[in-house]
Structures are given as structure tokens and as C-alpha cells.
Homo-oligomer: A and B are copies of this chain.
């Protein structure tokens, strides 16, 4: 698949977005590319190249208008296309993600959680209800939800995956440390936390 925007650019754009949110909260009107570059310890040329991708022409002597640059990033990353998802697994990680208030700002709406524990079913987490996993197929069809964030324990990951794929889920954001076996039509995005951290430790030769 040809990527519209490279992963690294998307990653940086969301970090710029976070910086802009911070500037706007502090009532700072303008931001320059060297200011962004310095905060992220990256090269200014890189920042300017990324911003050029946005087709934003508003640069002036004092820099970019924070509010406008933010809007251009949001347009490029399609924050207005609201994507609805379910969390499957209402443990600590599922709860943490349900409480991650920043998702909504990015057009990402978590509408419900699912679990099989009677201690959790019926409880509310950050305004979102935990439902019996057996209700998922019916609800996903009615609400046209195709995305699941998977946060179940490792040993149930494949079994639950088979179940949600049968229920019509097409996209799985996988937070379990397992490689899931899915049909070709289903897309899995492996969060792979340990892989992310090893990218850091291996290349910095951290050893303490």
C-alpha cells in the first residue's frame, strides 16, 4: 500500500500539534519553526519541510500563527473524520485508554468498553459504559463500529481476536504483546510497546 504520509511525518505532526495546543493555552499567538525544532531536539530544516507538506502559506516574520498552523495539521491528519472505536478488555490499560482525554481532540471517539467480568460489566469509565463482550457483535453492527482497541491479557488475545473478527471488526489496534492471526481483510496495528522502547534503548546503548 502506498502511504499518503510517512509514519515519521505523521508522528512529528502530532507532536507539533501538541506543542501548538500548549502555546494556544498559554495565549502565545505565534510560533517559529526553530522554536518547534528546539523543543523536539530536531533539525529546523526538518520542521520546515514537514510544515511545507501542509500547504500552509501563513508564515510571516514572527513565524506561524499557532491557531492556523494547528488547523492545517488537523486537516492533513483528518481529525474531523470522527472514528469510533470500542475498547475490548476493561483492565488497567483499557481504563487508561478510556480516560485518555486527548483522543477526542484528535477525532477519535471511544464509545464503549467490553469485558467478560461481571465485576466490570455495567460500570462506567470516564462516561463510557462497560458492556458484556457477548453484546459486541450486535452493537458493532447497529452502530457501524469497525475499530477495536484490544487490551485483553496475553493468553486470551487470539481467542478474543477470532471472536471480534467474526463480529465484523475490520481494524484492530493491538496493545497485547501477541502477534494476532487474522484474515487478510482485517488490518492489525501492533502497538508493540516493547518494540518502541527497544528502538530507544538499543540505539542509545542504555545500560544501567
Contact = CB atoms under 8 A, between A and B. Distances in A.
A198 B83 CA distance: 11
Given A154-B102, A194-B102, A206-B83, A189 B200 contact: yes
Contacts of A188: 41
Nearest to A172: B200
A102 to B, nearest CB: 4
A18 interface: yes
Question: In the assembly, how many copies of this chain are there?
Answer: 2
Contacts of A95: 92, 96
Nearest to A40: B179
A16 to B, nearest CB: 8
A199 interface: yes
Interface in A135-178: 144-147, 154, 171, 173, 177-178
Contact of A194 (B91, B108, B203): B108
Interface string A183-208: 01001111111111111111111111
A99 B78 CA distance: 34
Interface stretch (A2-10, A56-64, A116-124): A2-10
Contacts of A177: 18, 100, 102
A42 to B, nearest CB: 11
Given A102-B177, A197-B173, A197-B189, A145 B81 contact: no
Interface in A65-87: 77-78, 81, 83-84
A196 B206 contact: no
Given A10-B199, A78-B202, 13 more contacts: A1-B204, A14-B198, A15-B192, A15-B195, A39-B179, A78-B201, A91-B96, A91-B99, A92-B93, A102-B154, A103-B194, A187-B204, A189-B199
18 contacts: A1-B203, A4-B202, A4-B203, A5-B203, A10-B199, A11-B192, A11-B196, A14-B198, A18-B178, A22-B178, A41-B184, A41-B188, A81-B206, A83-B208, A92-B93, A102-B154, A106-B197, A173-B197
